[in-house]
A and B are shown apart, each in its own frame.
Chain A
């Protein structure tokens, strides 16, 4: 039981948090969770709400599955993981609807989208099934942050270039760009441009860290 002595924030544990932010990012390196990155990055606000919801669901699901990891029969483990995720998502949705109705309206379709987010199941399968609850919790947090910042970065550019606003505030109009003949790029609000934006982020990341480039 030497592992017990390991401090809560040892170097190894900190790496669990920081790795997914950059070199092992779930979106840009593992290319997971792309569908939601396309669907909800038209504006910043929903992107942030989605990032937060994924944060809650992923970290809790990781802990729950990690606690049950020795009980889950391996043949039905995928279904068990799915049940855990779906239950959490529905519970969160119900509670939001009852007590913070406005937030739940903001989330609308995203709640359902969380269930289909491959990052969550990917982390449960790859990490939580083989690790202790605290480590799984950190892993969940790290991956959710890694997913979240990409989401927010993409939404930032799409809202700014597509609609000329940030959080609905007309930034470009206030800067007087339209008077100089600038026009919004309507293509940015369509899903394909989200993919291109993610592609650009991946490009920049691999330019900086050449180890990521597959031979």
Chain B
């Protein structure tokens, strides 16, 4: 057979393409369930990390069931709407107009402390970055943060997925009094008393900025929800205050 003939070249190419395509599709389809399981377990693992719980990927599903007490999705006005928080794909949501987007919230409890966990997603240098931020009951203090990325540069931007970058978020606040401040990743290092800033990554400025933008953008969308929660807490406090003063009043009258 003359391997320089056009017909041979074409048929070789055709056979090769069909073979390779079949091989790859079979591999992709048969491995998909395993891959999905890994991704799901990792998501649960990440959510648990913001609560301060370290689990292996195998145990993630079990612990997740125990510790995550409820989850729901909100619309842009902060009202609870139908939907499963766990399966919301923020990559898809972010492309929709604001009033059609949904915003997942996970409520978790560890050592008696309740946390609200919010998923984040934004842009890094080479691809998407995402993460989870856990807020305490006051809706301002960060109790845990975890970030991950698709393709940031190892040793530089990819450091956002490491502990030294994530731990300083804990204890920072996203509100200054009633003013929304978010948390900024500061190039060259945040000042020690800065309640709204953490240290950036040298050589990873674009990824660091991506994290700042992601937090600002995502958290600002939850503002109606935060305000509702904060006023609920204030009302609850006011109620107990009222009951207390009524009690003292009645006691005084009896006397």
Contacts and interface: CB of A to CB of B under 8 A. Distances in A.
Interface stretch (B7-15, B63-71, B104-112, B225-233): B7-15
Nearest to B32: A98
Contacts of B23: 87, 91
Given A163-B155, A186-B203, A109 B126 contact: yes
Contact of A108 (B13, B24, B31, B154): B154
Contacts of A189: 155-156, 202-203
Contacts of A75: 4, 9
A91 B27 contact: yes
B154 A43 contact: yes
B31 A94 contact: yes
A4 B102 CA distance: 68
Interface residues of A, number: 31
B28 interface: yes
Interface string A171-183: 0000000000000
Interface in A1-56: 39-40, 42-43, 46
Contacts of B3: 70-74
Interface in A61-92: 70-76, 79-80, 83, 87, 90-91
A101 B58 CA distance: 12
A40 B31 CA distance: 28
B151 A190 contact: no
A44 B150 CA distance: 20
A83 B8 contact: no
Interface in B39-75: 42, 57
A101 B45 CA distance: 13
B244 to A, nearest CB: 54
A190 B203 contact: yes
A42 B27 contact: no
Contact of A83 (B9, B16, B27, B57): B16
A101 B153 contact: no
A42 B201 CA distance: 14
A95 interface: yes
Contact of A186 (B16, B151, B202): B202
B247 interface: no
B196 to A, nearest CB: 26
B38 interface: yes
A109 B42 CA distance: 19
A101 B27 contact: no
A90 B12 contact: no
20 contacts: A39-B153, A42-B154, A43-B155, A71-B3, A71-B12, A76-B12, A76-B13, A79-B13, A91-B23, A94-B31, A95-B27, A95-B31, A98-B31, A99-B34, A101-B35, A108-B150, A109-B126, A159-B155, A189-B202, A190-B203
9 tightest CB-CB pairs across the interface, nearest first? A42-B155, A98-B34, A98-B31, A101-B38, A73-B9, A109-B151, A46-B154, A43-B155, A97-B35
Interface of A: 39-40, 42-43, 46, 70-76, 79-80, 83, 87, 90-91, 94-95, 97-99, 101, 108-109, 159, 163, 186, 189-190
Given A71-B12, A94-B31, 10 more contacts: A42-B153, A46-B155, A73-B3, A73-B8, A73-B9, A74-B3, A91-B23, A97-B34, A108-B158, A189-B203
